[in-house]
């Protein structure tokens, strides 16, 4: 379905920004606990001086959309599993 394709593209965009350590982007798309976890992982990577081998993923296989939640006055939240 079209919505699943859009979610996969958005996740790919998010994940590539996460891998590259783009906190500015992460601040725009994450909130609350997710933002805290992702920023702490990026900060830990920077502090410990290590990087991922690849910052861009080429493809996402077998997306499995688990669900979504759109709270009032907060960013939406989506959960799914993938193979990369």
pTM of the model: 0.69
List the pLDDT tens digit at each of the 84 positions of the chain.
777 778 778 888 888 888 888 999 999 988 888 889 999 999 999 899 987 777 676 666 777 778 888 888 777 777 777 776
Q: Which of 48, 41, 47 is nearest to 17 (CA)?
A: 41
């Amino acid at each position: 379905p079209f919505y699943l394709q859009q979610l996969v593209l958005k996740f790919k965009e998010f994940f590539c920004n996460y891998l590259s350590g783009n906190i500015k982007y992460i601040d725009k798309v994450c909130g609350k606990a997710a933002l805290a976890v992702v920023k702490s992982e990026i900060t830990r990577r920077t502090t410990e001086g290590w990087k991922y081998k690849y910052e861009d993923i080429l493809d996402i296989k077998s997306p499995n959309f688990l669900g979504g939640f759109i709270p009032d006055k907060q960013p939406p939240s989506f959960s799914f599993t993938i193979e990369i």
